Amino acid sequence: MSTFTFLTNHGAVFVFVAQNRAISSRRIALQLDLTERTVQRILADLQVAGYILKRKEGRTNRYELDFSLPMRRSGLHPVPVGELFAAMLKSGAEARSTRSGPKLLSRAVEKSKARGSIRERASAARGRTA
């Protein structure tokens, strides 16, 4: 029987960042059994695509996520990535009702929808400072 995973490495890294906005690439790598360099490359890919925004706070990177962008898969393209997370949270809510992570992630998905995309906010911020 072949082995497979439901999430790509990019999806798994996105989930870890969504659950902990100040997580290090080293910690993600250890949790996912990836190299730290691979995680850094994935974070850079997600940042270039607009799914995450990285801000340096002292020695820590803080991440902001954009759940309104579409999934990057043919056939699923018009579906926002936030809908996947909302469905995952809804279906697993009973099993994980004692953990705060799903509730926090659910709130983050809703906030992201209300605020608009990271690119739109970055453009607006540049316009205000110009």
Please report the pLDDT score of residue 70 as a whole number.
87
- Rounded Cα–Cα distance for residues 71 and 84 (Å): 9
Domain map (residue ranges) of the chain: 9-129
5 vs 76, residue with greater confidence: 5
CATH fold group of domain 9-129: Arc Repressor Mutant, subunit A (1.10.10)
Q: Is the pLDDT score of 9 beyond 50?
A: yes
Which residue blocks in the chain are alpha helix, DSSP H? 9-19, 25-32, 36-48, 81-92, 101-115, 118-129
Q: Is the pLDDT score of 125 beyond 50?
A: yes
Please report the pLDDT score of residue 93 as a whole number.
54
113 vs 58, residue with greater confidence: 58
Please state which of the ranges 29-33, 63-67, 81-85, 123-127 shows the lowest mean pLDDT: 123-127
Cβ atoms of 33 and 42 within 8 Å: the answer is no
Q: Is the pLDDT score of 130 beyond 50?
A: no
What is the pTM (predicted TM-score) of this model? 0.68
